[in-house]
Amino acid sequence: MALLEVNDLDVRFAVRGGDLTALRGISFTLDKGERLGLVGESGAGKSVAAFSILNLLAKPGQIAGRATLVGGKESAD
């Protein structure tokens, strides 16, 4: 059983003139004893991904298309 599973994480920000897609289709599984590192250039979405997984994304951010499992239980959106 996965400790953390993220499937198709999408994050959008409402901006003037429409929505800006910050993340599209992020998926990964983390098992007990494993480590995961998010790497990328500045502005690539590392912090947005982490805040979204923890349900700490501030407005105007919108989490869409997410199924996050923690210890086999689906997390609340």
Q: What is the pLDDT of residues 20-48, one digit of tens each?
A: 999 999 999 999 899 999 999 999 999 99
Model confidence, pTM? 0.79
Confidence grade of residue 55 (pLDDT, cut at 50, 70, 90): confident
- The three-state (H, E, C) secondary structure of 4-20, written as one string: EEEEEEEEEEEECCEEE
Distance between first and last Cα of the chain: 21
What pLDDT was estimated at residue 26? 92
Average pLDDT over residues 9-19: 91
